Amino acid sequence: MSMLDSPETYRQLDPSGMLGHLRQFPEQCQRAWHNATDFGFPRDYVKVEKVVIAGMGGSAIGGDLVRRLAMIENTLPVWVHRDYGLPPFVDRNTLVIFSSYSGNTEETLSCFSDSLRTQAKKMVLTTGGKLKALAEKERIPVLTIDYEAPPRAAFPHSFVSLLGIFHSLRFLQDKSADMTESLGVMKRIEDSVSEKTPLDSNLAKQLAADLFGRLAVIYGAGQLTEVAQRWKTQINENSKAWAFYEAFPELNHNAVVGYQLPAETRQRAMALLLHSASLHPRVSIRYQVTSEILTKAGVKHKTVEAIGKSPLAQMIGLVLLGDYVSFYLAMLNRTDPIPVPTIDHLKSRLAESL
């Protein structure tokens, strides 16, 4: 029997409870949706011309997905700011959303501090920390996340809360039906990839087994570009493993030339191609041809198909699948998915320099 089919594996290797967060993923998405759509926004917040979402890591990826949805619908420009300071184009016609799960992310706090010298409209998405205290002092609206988890496991709140904000402020088309579809898609995926579903019929366990001991490279396109990025970061943090991501069609102009060398990397790499039937037909042809090139180069690879009709359902469904893949890969790597001691050390060293 595979170790991924043994309950003892999860008792021993997941003492911090990442599996519990995965099980709550659909429920937390629904909760975040209601919290955001029930929030009372200042009336003038609908009168903006652009949005900046400031955040890092697990608190920023939700902004990336919302930005993609805005691009698909050709609505107002959205910029995801992963840095200190404030983008120079921020003005009175900009809404800046500060997303920090802990409320203590120093880059986001820097951006918040600089924003106080502008007439931009502002709001905060956080559990608390310095950011919430400062926002309340300045009478800036705060949408509070009431869910205790590592920031990356709070994705339903970092993404769906933003989705609810954009829905409520009419920055996106009505997302109620898409959200209902997405909950159904998540339920289907969860039922098929839970730890109780055996390896021979569990796609997430199979993909984790394919990635075990290999360099993970995740490909995406269109609405799945940021999903590929999420897979990459989850493999980094949960599985404690190297991973990279790239996007079609750009990768066809460079990455495909690099499959040959070094030979050791080619032989130890595993490419996962996240695909949707709703992508541009020319992009889908690129998936097919790239798969042929990978085969010729001797690079192991698989295509993973999104399910659902709406871009939202496809995106959030594949995010959930990828989270399970990274969790099972952590089990195969015999590591607890939740602790990130290297990041903790880095933050500690940065704090010493203040």
Tens of pLDDT, residue by residue over 230-247, are 999 999 999 999 999 999
Tens of pLDDT, residue by residue over 35-86, are 999 999 998 999 999 999 999 998 999 999 999 999 999 889 999 999 999 9
- Please tell me the predicted confidence (pLDDT) of residue 346: 87
Range of the structural domain that residue 220 is part of? 3-10+198-332
With respect to residue 338, please indicate whether it lies within any of the assigned structural domains: no
Q: Tell me, yes or no, whether 102 and 162 share the same domain.
A: yes
Residue tagged active-site, from 253, 264, 296, 352: 253
Residue percentage of the chain with pLDDT more than 70 = 100
Q: Tell me, yes or no, whether 150 and 111 share the same domain.
A: yes
Q: Tell me, yes or no, whether 163 and 29 share the same domain.
A: yes
Q: Tell me, yes or no, whether 130 and 221 share the same domain.
A: no
Q: Tell me, yes or no, whether 64 and 212 share the same domain.
A: no
With respect to residue 113, please indicate whether it lies within any of the assigned structural domains: yes
Mean pLDDT of the chain: 95
- Please tell me the predicted confidence (pLDDT) of residue 326: 98
Tell me what the mean pLDDT of segment 139-150 comes to: 95
- Cis amide bond preceding 262, omega within 30: yes
Please indicate whether residue 253 is annotated as part of the active site: yes
- Please tell me the predicted confidence (pLDDT) of residue 292: 97
Query: Domains in the chain: how many in total?
Result: 2
- Please tell me the predicted confidence (pLDDT) of residue 143: 97
With respect to residue 341, please indicate whether it lies within any of the assigned structural domains: no
Please indicate whether residue 196 is annotated as part of the active site: no
Q: Tell me, yes or no, whether 138 and 210 share the same domain.
A: no
174, 190, 210 — which closes off a domain?
Answer: 174
With respect to residue 349, please indicate whether it lies within any of the assigned structural domains: no
With respect to residue 192, please indicate whether it lies within any of the assigned structural domains: no
Q: Tell me, yes or no, whether 170 and 202 share the same domain.
A: no
With respect to residue 168, please indicate whether it lies within any of the assigned structural domains: yes
Q: Tell me, yes or no, whether 150 and 34 share the same domain.
A: yes
CATH of the domain at 100: 3.40.50.10490
Q: Tell me, yes or no, whether 41 and 112 share the same domain.
A: yes
CA-atom Rg of the chain in angstroms:
20
Residue tagged active-site, from 107, 195, 237, 246: 237
With respect to residue 209, please indicate whether it lies within any of the assigned structural domains: yes
Confidence of residue 1 (pLDDT cuts 50, 70, 90): low
Tell me what the mean pLDDT of segment 204-213 comes to: 98
Q: Tell me, yes or no, whether 214 and 168 share the same domain.
A: no
Please indicate whether residue 237 is annotated as part of the active site: yes
